[in-house]
Amino acid sequence: MSIKTPVGQGLSASSRTHGTQGFAGKILRLVSLIATNPVEAWDRIATKMEVRADKVHQTGPGIYFPGESEAALADLEVHLHAGVRSHLAETQLRDIEDEVVRRIEGGLTAAPFTLAHCSGRLLARTCYAIVRALRPNVVLETGVAYGVTSTFILKALETNGQGLLHSVDLPPLGRDANRFVGALVPQSLRRRWHLHRGSTRRVLPKLLPSLGSVGLFVHDSLHTYRTMEYEFAAVTPRLAPGSMLIADDIQDNAAFRNWVDRSKPVFAAAIREPDKQSLFGITYFA
Ligand SMILES: C[S@@+](CC[C@H](N)C(=O)[O-])C[C@H]1O[C@@H](n2cnc3c(N)ncnc32)[C@H](O)[C@@H]1O
């Protein structure tokens, strides 16, 4: 049987089974973490409680009218006064897509957490094209897992010949999970990459002041209302004119919608991710 990989290629069922190490294993790891790293253990417990609370105190789904990505990017180009879609045809993008597929098939056979964490192909490609068009000096993303979006963003920065990516991730609780965070990112792209380990709520207050202004923010960590609202509120004052914010999985709550209403970017669109049947949002501040 074949499933869709994050970059839209067939992947055999054998590579789909790893990553599920069982509830008991996770509890054991959490208990040992309480002894070795109580701060992180607390962050993980708080995250679980937040996910549960999000289900109980439903804020209602976000109401979106998703458009075709082609039309949304065409609209974005009008505001940016720059081409975005042309970057989707670049050989550098094709090369990195091929490399990510090769790495998934060849290198993640003993991976400790599920490939379902990986972002979809359209989001990854859109991140690449937007970084190429915007040419940001600083990109900040939350949520790395195996590093699909990180890889595409880094490839675009490398092609631009400028810019750094700061990524924040609290890895899933799996055996050897640390080693696999960003495992898809090729060595050749890592010189522009800073990976910060921990929950966004703990890392961002210290990290953000050190970054100056952020040219592109990509949210793909915990998709609860509370964390999305927190990250958007923390990053917004750092978004310079001409910057963008992208958020994955906006469909389950109204955090993105409410933030757009408050922050009033000149451009906002919701795009359907065909691989995952989810929505991601893109916004632009002139
Ligand atoms: C959807 S995955 C990220 C996918 C990634 N962007 C990609 O392109 O494949 C979400 C990641 O965020 C991490 N995460 C969950 N809660 C977090 C939090 N509060 N702070 C930081 N990272 C978190 C998860 O462990 C996981 O690694």
Mean of per-residue pLDDT scores for the chain: 89
Atom of ligand 1 nearest to the CA of 124: 8
Which ligand 1 atom is at minimum distance from the Cα of 171? Answer: 25
Q: Whose CA is nearest to atom 5 of ligand 1?
A: 144
Q: 234, 209, 253, 285: which is closest to 62 by C-alpha?
A: 253
Q: Please say if the pLDDT value at position 134 is more than 90.
A: yes
The single-letter code of the amino acid at 35 is A
Task: Tell me the CA–centroid distance for residue 73 and ligand 1, in Å.
Answer: 25
- Mutational test site, ligand 1, from 170, 204, 230, max ligand atoms within 8 Å of CB: 170
CA distance 27 to 35: 13
3-state helix, strand, coil split of the chain in percent (to 5) is: 50, 20, 30
What average pLDDT does the segment 81-85 reach? 96
User: Which CATH code for domain 69-285?
Assistant: 3.40.50.150
- Residue count of the chain, please give it: 286
pLDDT tens for each residue of 55-76: 877 777 777 878 789 999 999 9
Pairing of strands 239-248, 278-285: antiparallel
Q: How many A from CA of 82 to the centre of ligand 1?
A: 31
Q: How confident is the model at residue 219 (pLDDT cuts 50, 70, 90)?
A: very high
Is the confidence at residue 120, as pLDDT, over 70?
Answer: yes
Q: Where are the beta strands (DSSP E) in 90-192?
A: 138-142, 164-169
Within 6 A (CB) of ligand 1 lie 47, 117-119, 142-146, 148-149, 168-172, 199-200, 220-222, 227
More confident residue, 240 or 91: 91
Instruction: Quote the pLDDT of residue 4.
Output: 38
Residue 7, pLDDT above cutoff 50: no
